[in-house]
Structure 1
Amino acid sequence: MQINGQLIKKKRKQLNMTQNQLAKGICKQATISNIEKKNTANNMQIITAICNRLGLEVNDITVTVHKSQVQGLLKKVTKLIRYYKYEEAEILLKDVVEVMDELEEHQLQEAYHCIGALSLFRNGKDDVTLYNLYQSLEHATNEGSIITILSNNLLGIYYATKGFTKQADAFFEKSVRLAELSRGYEREEALSTVYYNIAKYYSSKNEYQKAIDYCDVGISICTENMSLLGLVHLAYERAFNCRALNEEVGREAYKFAEQLAELTKNTEMLAIIRADLKKS
């Protein structure tokens, strides 16, 4: 929810109240600080209690999101999802959902995509995941757009997790076919995610060389965009599949992935990589 954090701060100071005093019995002081600085909140009960203490109405501090702001919000949400920051993405997305009946077709597509992605990765509600991802495809105005490619890719992930191999194959193959249309042009950074997801899928089917090939494409997209986002995951996935084919080659690939994880300070992946290295 978008709120007017400055109004809360102004009213608090008028009442000679500290952040700790305002927070007492409601939330942590850090929550008040975040509300005042970032103008967002994800707990209606907390906001209501804060307003009651300050003598404000909730409507007084609620900020209406205008259509002109939606595109920027959607881009932020999509990026947060790629960074696995699902909680932050959900907070921003609530503001978009409130004005969905006013959105243009391409904005609707991205909004449905984001709702479906968060359901897939965070909530696990099958009906919500499928409805929104299919709606994203329904509202596609350009079959080659990155959101269309990503929605097809996520449907591949969904069906793969459910064990529906035929459907998973179809959606993964379609996402690759659409992604291939961007060859020869500047390929968007987000496409690296598509190839990573497909590599993981083929790795689960023990098609190791195929998985390695897809990892290589994803890595090349990262290097084209001079991006470290997703590079460690791709390097790790490549190492995992290399080792399945050749222990020595795999060990070298793991060392490279370890160096990348250290460079990017990705402690989670570093722990996984080092645990795998101990097994070899």
Structure 2
Amino acid sequence: MEIGPFIKLHRIKQNMTQEELAEGIVSESYLSKIENRRTEPSADVINMLCTKLGVEVKSEEDTMLKEKCQEWFDMLFEVNRKEDITNKYQELQEIIDNNYSHTQVLFEIHKIRYYLIMDEVNLALKQINNLKEISNTFDNYQLYFWMKFKGNYNSVIEEFGQAIRLYKLAEEKANQIDISDDEAADLKYTMAVTYSKLRNTLEVIDYANKALEEYSKNYNFIRCAQCHILLGISYRRIRIYDKAIKNYNLAQHLAKLNKNDELIQLTNINLANLYASKGDNANCIKCYTEVLKKKEYLKRKEILIAITSLMREYYVNKNYSMCKEMVDEGHKVMKDLDRSRFKIYDYELRTYDYALKNENQKFEELVVGEFIPYLQKQKDYASLIVYTNMVGKHYENQSKYKLASKYYKLANFSYEQLIKI
């Protein structure tokens, strides 16, 4: 990292203006030239600016520091305890933040990924905004991770279209630099996951198979299982059920070999989805019920998926008492969560809550006024089919046939869009 961008980065991190940093050392315009690499300052000026920022200038590259950073970078892509990742991060941050090192820019970029792992989404965004100021100084290797981790951020906030755009830019950079096989496989797997969110089935199959090939070579069976789950989801969506079941069974076999309970449960969730696709409500409900019996192995999002899926199945089967039980259970899970991060589950739970209580005005205000427009914006055609049909039925029961027809037509349109995908 060149000295100008280094000074600029530390000034931004400390919320210091150019005027404040330049005062008593150089003019504000001259500092701007230094930060934007339009002039080469003297050693004395560099030392004075760095002293004011509270950092030490070391011109030589610390090989040991570089190795330590790489160890931490690698931890961000493996199954490691958050505590271990944080301890390593704190050790490195103290060294890097107080010294001028060429390794710093990569460390700063990887902090985006670190914050996302720690579920500190706002800190990840703040880090992205800080680094934007110096991103024009990044080389291709740094740009690769910059694009990839920004894609990770967009994926977390469910802006999947933007995420895939950034991943494709990272993919272009990957062709110009030397990255490890593990890193190449991770990008392919990440793109497969994102394409799955966008329901771009052919792309999922392509990227998941490419990632699977790389992971198989390195005996990374956890990632292999995750790739098989993605393939199972894709084949389920195009109704090739035998291939879907084959991939789910392979995923479950690998998960059991590795004694990974979370992955076993994730496979069970997807088997339940397969039964739902086939209209096998009994097996679907049975499968989801078994999943919730061992919910301690699941992340909160996966628990919400199981709860809301069961809620829908019970409602369709007119088992309203069990549907109400799932609604209440879902609200308990949502109680301590940031609802803006789990918006679709919040909408779903409130939708069925109002429907069960026959609170028609609240139902219409929520589903017609907020939920359906949200799903349209997200282009979530699968969910649109469910909820536009639900609204159509709601209006039909009130003999409001014109409104019912409008939402049945929207359901048909959503189905056509889903087929195109």
Q: What is the TM-score of this pair, normalised by structure 1? A: 0.64
Alignment partner of 1:205 is 2:215: no
Question: Do the aligned residues in 1 keep the contact of 2:235 with 2:244 (CA within 8 Å)?
Answer: yes
Q: Deviations over 1:169-207 (max 9, x none)?
A: 43111122233457xx88521222211211111111111
Identical aligned residues as a percent: 13
Match of 1:170 among 165, 190, 199: 165
Query: Which residue does 1:113 correspond to in 2?
Result: 109
Report the residue type matching 2:249 in the other structure.
K
Q: For the residues of structure 2 that align with 1:113 and 1:160, how far apart are their CA atoms?
A: 17
Shift of 1:103: 4.8
Matches within 5 A, 1:40-79: 67-79=62-74
Q: For the residues of structure 2 that align with 1:139 and 1:225, how far apart are their CA atoms?
A: 35
Q: Which runs of 5+ in 2 are unaligned?
A: 1-60, 276-421
Matches within 5 A, 1:141-220: 141=139, 143=140, 145=141, 148-164=143-159, 167-181=162-176, 187-220=180-213
Report the residue type matching 1:192 in the other structure.
A
Query: Which residue does 2:93 correspond to in 1?
Result: 97
1:230 match: secondary structure: helix
2:105 match: secondary structure: helix
Query: Which residue does 1:18 correspond to in 2?
Result: none
Query: Which residue does 2:75 correspond to in 1?
Result: 80
1:190 match: secondary structure: helix
Moved more, 206-215 or 172-181: 172-181
Structure 1's 103 and 195: CA in aligned 2 closer, same or farther, altered over 3 A? farther
Match of 2:246 among 239, 247, 252: 252
Moved more, 199-208 or 219-228: 219-228
1:203 match: secondary structure: helix
Report the residue type matching 2:126 in the other structure.
V
Report the residue type matching 1:128 in the other structure.
K
Q: For the residues of structure 2 that align with 1:79 and 1:131, how far apart are their CA atoms?
A: 24
Shift of 1:76: 2.2
Shift of 1:81: 1.5
Report the residue type matching 2:111 in the other structure.
I
Q: For the residues of structure 2 that align with 1:136 and 1:239, how far apart are their CA atoms?
A: 42
Question: Do the aligned residues in 2 keep the contact of 1:192 with 1:230 (CA within 8 Å)?
Answer: no
Q: Which has the higher contact order (CA 8 A, sep 6+)?
A: 1
Structure 1's 174 and 231: CA in aligned 2 closer, same or farther, altered over 3 A? same
Q: For the residues of structure 2 that align with 1:140 and 1:111, how far apart are their CA atoms?
A: 13
Question: Do the aligned residues in 2 keep the contact of 1:67 with 1:102 (CA within 8 Å)?
Answer: no
Q: For the residues of structure 2 that align with 1:73 and 1:114, how far apart are their CA atoms?
A: 13
Shift of 1:166: 5.4
Q: Point out 4+ residue stretches in structure 1 off by more than 4 angstroms.
A: 132-139, 163-166
Q: For the residues of structure 2 that align with 1:259 and 1:139, how far apart are their CA atoms?
A: 47
Q: For the residues of structure 2 that align with 1:221 and 1:272, how far apart are their CA atoms?
A: 22
Query: Which residue does 2:236 correspond to in 1?
Result: 243
Q: For the residues of structure 1 that align with 2:131 and 2:248, how far apart are their CA atoms?
A: 35
Q: Deviations over 1:64-106 (max 9, x none)?
A: xx9443223212212221124333112111122112243532x
Q: Which runs of 5+ in 1 are unaligned?
A: 1-65
Q: For the residues of structure 2 that align with 1:203 and 1:89, how far apart are their CA atoms?
A: 28
Question: Do the aligned residues in 1 keep the contact of 2:195 with 2:201 (CA within 8 Å)?
Answer: yes
Aligned length: 209
CA RMSD of aligned residues (A): 2.9
1:102 match: secondary structure: coil
Question: Do the aligned residues in 1 keep the contact of 2:154 with 2:162 (CA within 8 Å)?
Answer: yes
- Larger Rg computed on CA atoms: 2
Match of 2:256 among 231, 240, 262: 262
